[in-house]
Chain A
């Protein structure tokens, strides 16, 4: 009877409180684990904002904190998209910045002085703890056993598919959006179950918050109507559904229209039309249901037929008129690319050029979800077994999200929550079956039952539990092994794959010690300290946000790709000959041009590898002047060595990348380590630009655009003249560039 004190603790009234306390402790531990596993990047590197988009969010947050909410709302940013500027306040999702601004002011109010940067860095881990909590609530609505909720919370806390977007420092919209997504779904399920206005209104409020935080809100906008529609088709109309859906839609649509960036989209854009359609449909169904209360079936059917014909006729005419007159906007391009994966590549190269928008490779599913991915179908099957309204939701969600996750890498993020729910349902069923069926209080109760009642009862209720201790032990221990493997996998993935800031690179020295490559910040701080405050920097759009955030200099294009023509202009300047590019640079007031070059270090994400996208985007606007075919050799290869095409070798990008690169090597030995090819013997000659800065490992090279020549010559002749002079001064020049290494 060693268990007896434990039994006292776990049974009856005190047992309930004990279990409640245990649950709270477990949830707190899960949240702590979720937060701490995301701190690898801070420990490995430092407290720094990661990647590209977060730099813009960080900059916007700083602006919000400095200038207050009012001016943030009306912020016109003249330091991006140089000649045009950007109406930043009206073209961003403010939820993230406002959240961290509020946290900042609360902490200041509590007299805890904390840097806004640290709030931004730690916001994503903090919200991941809340996500785990929301996940617990959501799963508890699905399953009777509380272990499913706890398992789901634990999975959500450490699953790599979610960690990939929420490590410390990745200060992006998804950081808070996933929490809002899960919590909105929880409130929605609660509303459907209870049929109360309050839950529906709360769901609408959190939906509004979600709209303010992430463009992915469209997923909710379409998923909830689909859920309602499927329920209606299953003949499950009830007043609960009417109340929750109409409340959610009426309030949620109004809430979403408060965000200036969304504006009138909910009534204009076709992405939102399904919600409106289902709203109308549910009104009809409710009315029909109401009328059915008064008259017998046969007459009701006649009435119904008349009604249906009238309504559909009017609705069809209305739709045609609206579409023809252009009130309803056609579907957006990103939407098309969800259905036809080849669409973006043909029509909108700017969408296809983002690596996040590529289709998912199949190992990524296992990499991001590990053993959850094969528990996932089992969990969906469990939902089919007791098909309540909320289980229908899980099924629809899983089907939709699996499809979308296959289409776009970044949508793996929306699949992750439902995988956690389904896997937790499956695993908790397995565990309950094997652990509790005979082990816990059940067998004793059964024994009592059998002894007290006659044999009939035991015959009526056959013993289906698992009695063998061997099978229980095998099953339980294998589940434990899988869970341990999962934890190990998650930790490994998080620390190795997802914790790199990509602003700071890490490599290993031959002796195994870590070597930090910090070229980005070196170059950006060079810009910050050595150039005029209003010097315009031209670079490919990937680096726009970083230049704005770290170097604080105006840029021509950045990651908010709102103006395709402007980006194509930059692409054209990069891919044309100097004689063509120079006027473009002059027209746009460009002072410096920044390129990323990985040839020395073998850093594959450099501009030469992205160059074809620049060409394609430029070709989309100027098909006569820039041709992608000219950059391939006759055999269709993309080369940078001796066999590179003349167009390629004369392009500004090529010249800037390989300018003076030969000087590092023995004559004729220059090798590009990314492309793995030997370069031409003589360095490309630049006449309209001059090298201003090259970072330690040559990752970033900055060129200054020369002013017009004093004597009115064109730059080519001026350079030729200088060359003639140069012999005398050659001794004064510094020796050939050498690779600085510590």
Chain B
């Protein structure tokens, strides 16, 4: 599922699930090298395919995908796979609701909300952890661009990730478990 994901949203095929659940945001890793400044672009687009100024949308999406596979660490990929699975679950429930009717509406809602909520929580966990993991793992490859990129993305935000946003992995995971517990408690209570 994961390989299809990014191109599917980017290329103009209108997919039903992407609008209802929010389109599969694999959320930003703040320390990912930002390409807002043109000086970085040369070092970044050193992938297999070099983009020309008027390459098609599909080509751009391809490049994005290759960049993504190349730079993401293993643990984050695992989280992404889980998120893709949740999108799949949510999508299947939604399609079922549209096709077969929404009779036990409580059950549908709690199932769907569980998928969406878990997706969102996982995305949050990914944001909190991948920021610092990638700073270790990718520091060797893009360490030069990282400093600038970080300044470019978060410098505008007054006190961004710098001091407050950084949460230790254990804390982030504990929060994640806390949020998930509440989420599933409500879902089970609501499912009738």
Contact = CB atoms under 8 A, between A and B. Distances in A.
User: Are A and B genuine complex partners?
Assistant: yes
Interface of A: 193-198, 200-201, 204-205, 235-236, 238-240, 242-243, 246-247, 249-251, 253-255, 257-258, 264, 267, 279-280, 282-284, 286-287, 289-300, 302-303, 306-307, 309-311, 313-315, 318, 388
B114 to A, nearest CB: 8
Contact of A283 (B22, B33, B63): B22
Contact of B158 (A251, A280, A311, A388): A388
Contacts of A315: 19
B120 A300 contact: no
A284 B22 CA distance: 7
Contacts of A247: 120-121, 124, 179
B113 interface: yes
B161 A293 contact: no
B25 A254 contact: no
Nearest to B60: A299
B109 A267 contact: yes
A296 B41 contact: yes
A172 B65 CA distance: 57
B34 A284 contact: no
A314 B17 CA distance: 10
Contacts, number: 201
Choose among A242, A243, A298 the residue with the greatest number of B CB atoms under 10 Å from its CB: A243
A562 B24 CA distance: 42
Given A197-B124, A240-B165, A251 B179 contact: yes
17 contacts: A195-B164, A196-B128, A196-B167, A197-B178, A201-B179, A239-B165, A240-B164, A247-B120, A247-B179, A250-B113, A283-B21, A286-B123, A294-B63, A296-B41, A297-B38, A302-B60, A303-B61
B12 interface: yes
Choose among A258, A287, A294 the residue with the greatest number of B CB atoms under 10 Å from its CB: A294
Choose among A254, A255, A289, A314 the residue with the greatest number of B CB atoms under 10 Å from its CB: A254
Contacts of B175: 196-198, 201
A306 B57 contact: yes
Interface of B: 6, 9-12, 14, 18-30, 32-36, 38, 40-41, 44-45, 51, 53, 55, 57, 60-61, 63-64, 67-68, 105, 109-110, 113, 116-117, 120-121, 123-125, 127-128, 131, 154, 156-161, 164-165, 167, 171-172, 174-176, 178-179, 182-183, 186-187, 189-190
B123 A253 contact: no
A265 to B, nearest CB: 12
Choose among A193, A238, A282 the residue with the greatest number of B CB atoms under 10 Å from its CB: A238
A581 to B, nearest CB: 44
A312 B6 CA distance: 18
A292 B28 contact: yes
Contact of A296 (B18, B51, B68, B164): B51
A251 B186 contact: yes
Given A293-B32, A293-B35, A299-B51, A257 B183 contact: no
> What does DSSP make chain B's interface, helix, strand, loop or mixed?
helix
Contacts of A238: 30, 154, 157, 160-161, 165
Given A242-B124, A299-B51, A299-B60, A236 B156 contact: yes
A246 B151 CA distance: 25
B23 A313 contact: no
A287 B190 contact: no
A239 B131 contact: yes
Contacts of A298: 53
Given A255-B186, A283-B23, A250 B64 contact: no
A287 B14 contact: no
Contacts of B38: 296-297
Contact of A250 (B35, B109, B121): B121
Contact of B10 (A204, A289, A306, A309): A306
A254 B35 contact: no
B120 A293 contact: no
B27 A197 contact: no
Contacts of A293: 28-29, 32-35
A306 B12 contact: yes
Given A267-B109, A306-B10, A297 B36 contact: yes
B25 A299 contact: no
Contact of A290 (B25, B41, B113, B189): B25
